[in-house]
Amino acid sequence: MQNKVKGSTILVTGGAGFIGSYVIEELIPLQPKKIIIIDNFLRGTRDNMKSFYNNPVIEFHEGDIRDVELLENCIEGCDYVFHLAALRINACAANPQDGFEVMLKATFDVAQLCVKYKIKKVIYSSSASVYGLAQHFPTPETDNPYNNQTFYGAAKMWGEQLFRSYKFMYGLDYAALRYFNAYGPRMDTDGKYTEVMIRWLDCVRDGRNPLIYGDGSTTMDFVYVRDIAKANIAALQADVTDESFNIGNCVETSLKELLEVLLKVNNSHLQPEHREENSVNPVSRRLADISKAKRLLGFTPTVSLEQGLKELSEWYFEKIKLKVH
């Protein structure tokens, strides 16, 4: 297959973030001419970019995708765009106006400028949130999005549909990737809505019993961040357009099982403590059918939950150590 990255100029919005930084690490060995990054450091960090920040192919702009002039300057002259910058699900719920401006308006501007500057392909970061509680398990891409109740899921679906309509109206090629539950080193650790894995790792560190709210039967499909980054590259390289793909690990893991594996990889004998569920989770199950991504992108997840949690734990404990000293 032709290496489309070689000699290309590529924009990555949100490139200082968790997934974006891994996408860039996968792009660099493929010899792009230039990688332009826009990130406002809302959640991304310089530390996430330390393996490539000083690489001469990188052109970093600390700025906001709501700044149309900046966006235009960055997109002009590009061959490809990876659009990852977004607010997280809770941030959208807390402030839908910001959600509108970042998830909808700025994504609209990205699409407009991609048409104007004849971008060859856009890889759009969508989400399994488009399904809400899905109809089928494993969930194929053909499940409908009517069960989604979140602004975030609505915005991601709108983004997919926007790119579909721009393909239809203007011939703009794109692929949308619906990530399931991403995890791995560099995931958010300090936010108000810190991921459950990180809270449990804090328990391991402090020797406190980890808490499970409810009976722990809620399931997720945990997909390792480097596998997600590889799916992004595959979506660019493959001769596919106008398609959405589930990107998951294809393993349904309950919170209870997740905790068991996390304790196991840390050689911990702490006992989970159950607490009454204090919020209603409308999405009680997630399991991706990834056969479409396998078939059309050649995507296969390579990192097991056990291996991924080992790497997450090592990274997190190292990070804490550095903070303390």
Ligand X SMILES: NC(=O)c1ccc[n+]([C@@H]2O[C@H](COP(=O)([O-])OP(=O)(O)OC[C@H]3O[C@@H](n4cnc5c(N)ncnc54)[C@H](O)[C@@H]3O)[C@@H](O)[C@H]2O)c1
Cβ-contact 139, 131 below 8 angstroms: yes
Q: Which of 9, 12, 24, 39 binds ligand X (CB under 6 A)?
A: 39
**Sites for ligand X among residues 100-139 (CB under 6 A):** 102, 125, 127
Nearer residue to ligand X within complex by CB, 88 or 256: 88
**Sites for ligand X among residues 84-103 (CB under 6 A):** 84-88, 102
Nearer residue to ligand X within complex by CB, 19 or 134: 19
Which of these ranges, 32-40, 167-175, 295-303, 307-315, lies near ligand X under the rule CB under 6 A? Answer: 32-40
Nearer residue to ligand X within complex by CB, 268 or 287: 287
Other C-beta atoms lying within 10 Å of the C-beta of residue 147: 15
Q: Could you confirm whether 152 is annotated as catalytic?
A: yes
Compute the least distance from the CB of residue 314 to ligand X, in Å.
Answer: 20
Listing from the earlier edge strand, what are the strands of the sheet with 121-127?
58-62, 34-39, 9-13, 80-83, 121-127, 174-179, 243-247
Nearer residue to ligand X within complex by CB, 65 or 119: 65
Q: Three-class SS of residue 274? A: strand
* Amino acid letter, residue 132: G
Structure tokens at 26: 């996968």
Residues contacting 187, CB < 8 A, separation 6+? 18, 195, 197, 198, 225, 312
Nearer residue to ligand X within complex by CB, 10 or 19: 19
Compute the least distance from the CB of residue 139 to ligand X, in Å.
Answer: 14
Q: Which of 19, 78, 110, 287 binds ligand X (CB under 6 A)?
A: 19
Q: Which of 10, 65, 74, 113 binds ligand X (CB under 6 A)?
A: 65
Q: How far apart are CA 21 and CA 223, in angstroms?
A: 16
Which of these ranges, 63-71, 205-213, 232-240, 310-318, lies near ligand X under the rule CB under 6 A? Answer: 63-71
Which of these ranges, 83-91, 140-148, 209-217, 304-312, lies near ligand X under the rule CB under 6 A? Answer: 83-91
Cβ-contact 28, 45 below 8 angstroms: no
* Unique residue bearing structure tokens 């997109």: 75
Residues contacting 57, CB < 8 A, separation 6+? 28, 32, 33, 34, 35
Which of these ranges, 39-47, 139-147, 271-279, 301-309, lies near ligand X under the rule CB under 6 A? Answer: 39-47
Strand pairing category for 80-83 and 9-13: parallel
Question: In the chain, what are the helix, strand and coil shares in percent, each to the nearest 5?
Answer: 40, 15, 40
Q: Which of 4, 8, 36, 40 binds ligand X (CB under 6 A)?
A: 40
Marked catalytic residue, from 152, 166, 179, 316? 152
* Unique residue bearing structure tokens 């709501």: 66
**Sites for ligand X among residues 161-200 (CB under 6 A):** 179, 181-182
Nearer residue to ligand X within complex by CB, 119 or 176: 176
Residue 20 binding ligand X, by CB under 6 A: yes
Element (H, E) at 283: none
Q: Which residues are catalytic?
A: 152
Q: Which residues bind ligand X (CB under 6 A)?
A: 14, 16-20, 38-44, 64-66, 84-88, 102, 125, 127, 179, 181-182
